[in-house]
Homo-oligomer: A and B are copies of this chain.
């Protein structure tokens, strides 16, 4: 970083005012009320951390000054294209500097960002484009190959922008404009002024394993609050370096897209999950924080010795999805990572619960402690309330660690609703709570522990069997890499548990041995009645696709 003689950081441009009034300092609006928006995080970072490295994307780096100036120019370009506040702009892009830029450029013009899962099939992407009413689609060159197939299935053709980041070969996609040309059109920052903090900032589609994807809409207020709450949970500071192992298309990166900037920390991009890339970035860029699905931990733990790199400081790893077994937590700890479990959904802006470590847990040995740290936890500081409620009676279940109910939540970081789907919204919001669809128990200490997805519970002879409990028993076997237990239709019992197991490289074990292994660990009726060994189908975010496994059994 170059500094002038006396350490002064001269600005190339003054930051733009974050209030109505623009160039003039005289305004008609109140001095003491400002709509909450994560856009302010970048505007402030441009002033407070202008020379600090904001984004590292391979060999490319940007300071917060550059990040701000590019995002604002791009935003001005979007306005110049005739897009109007409330219009939706869809993006198909891996984790990259450009993907971070559009998380500011699009909402700063009052537009709604639709960051799509880029591993969905073309039909699903076309459905989402049409349903969200996307006026523009930005596509990164590495995803150019499937564009024609997507557009062929779209009822409405959006304006097409090729996100041709510098030295990448831009694939031709019949674009209307390139990203850099769009950016060049925006000489001025956008004229848009946010007046209502409840205006939508983003729309994120659910994975749609049980039907058509639904579009959860986020507000500027909710995104601002969730970003700050998570920044506090992670302990992000200006000196932090956050590695993007989590896809930015997943709940806008759990709102870390905005939270890392709020802290003035550095975003370290990662275009795809690869163990060697992850270790190299951690070591080379002194990464302090990362987040991701448990599959990321599996990949790191199973990485060959030669791609592992040592690093001096411990790394905070924030994980969601299925709870990691004690063995995984222990192995991660030995590798230098402090894992914290979180829980959330697309509908709640990513993580709403986090498993904050209690002092007394530290007195336990690792395996005992894992019984606590594997829980989903308690609400983070801006996430409002979260309870386990009997959905029939709407009574809270006893705090006994045994009685199952559904996790229900309330707070500012619950979606505005499903876009253009009032019926699904009404179901999700029945009785004034957001129904997560996840089954859980409430422990006496107020910590929530997920037992199952409502749709994943196995009902055998009238008894509920938690598929997670059966999975955890099998995860204790040293040869097991991944397990998914689903209900298999059974003439006698209604349903019985069937386990699909993926083994670690080079390991061999028979279905019978695994069934025997489970015997001492589970009640008789919970034991898997069948074990099937083979590779498991997974989503792009590493979630095992149980619906595919169920299909194999019917």
Q: Does A432 contact B (CB under 8 A)?
A: yes
Most B C-beta atoms less than 10 A away, residue of A29, A263, A358: A358
Contact between A47 and B432, CB atoms less than 8 A apart:
no
Contact indicator A232/B262 (Cβ below 8 Å):
yes
Chain A residues 10-40 with CB under 8 Å of chain B are 10-11, 14-15, 17-19, 21, 24-34, 36, 40
* CB-nearest residue of chain B to A386: B47
Please tell me if the beta carbons of A385 and B432 are within 8 angstroms of each other in the complex: no
Give the residue name and chain of the B residue nearest to A198 (CB). B33
Q: In the complex, identify which listed stretch (A75-83, A139-147, A322-330, A361-369) lies at the interface while the others stay far away.
A: A361-369
A19-B385, A32-B416 are contacts. A7–B432 as well, Cβ < 8 Å? no
A432 x B232 contact (CB < 8 A): no
Which residues of A from 415 to 462 have beta carbons under 8 Å from B?
415-417, 429, 431-434, 443-446
Distance of A253 Cα from B363 Cα, bound (Å): 34
The count of chain A contact residues (Cβ–Cβ below 8 Å) is 89
Query: Is A402 at the interface (CB under 8 A from chain B)?
Result: no
Q: How many copies does the complex hold?
A: 2
Asked if B31 and A381 make an inter-chain contact with CB atoms under 8 angstroms apart, the answer reads: no
- A34 neighbours in B (Cβ, 8 Å): 384, 410-412
Determine whether the beta carbon of B394 is less than 8 Å from that of A25. yes
Please determine whether A378 and B26 come into contact, CB atoms closer than 8 angstroms.
Answer: no
Contacts of A387 in B (CB 8 A): 17, 25
User: What is the distance, in angstroms, from A502's C-beta to the closest C-beta of chain B?
Assistant: 32
A51 with B444, Cβ < 8 A, contacts A41-B381, A381-B228, A432-B27 known: no
- Distance (whole angstroms) from the CB of A438 to the closest CB of chain B: 15
Contacts of A30 in B (CB 8 A): 429, 432
Q: A34-B412, A235-B235 are in contact. Are A445 and B364 (CB under 8 A)?
A: no
Q: Once bound together, how far apart are the Cα atoms of A50 and B235, in whole Å?
A: 20
Shortest distance between the CB of A448 and any CB in chain B (Å): 10
Complex Cα gap A109–B196 (Å): 29
Q: How far is the CB of A14 from chain B (nearest CB, A)?
A: 6
Residues from chain B with Cβ under 8 Å of A377 in the complex: 48
CB < 8 Å: which of B372, B378, B384 contacts A7? Answer: B372
A-B contact pairs, 13 of them (CB 8 A): A1-B359, A1-B360, A7-B360, A7-B369, A9-B445, A17-B385, A28-B432, A31-B429, A31-B433, A47-B379, A49-B358, A228-B382, A238-B356
Give chain A's interface residues, CB within 8 Å of chain B: 1, 3, 6-11, 14-15, 17-19, 21, 24-34, 36, 40-41, 44, 47-52, 198, 222, 225, 228, 231-232, 235, 237-238, 262-264, 356, 358-361, 363-364, 368-369, 371-372, 377-379, 381-382, 384-385, 387, 389, 394-396, 399, 408-412, 414-417, 429, 431-434, 443-446
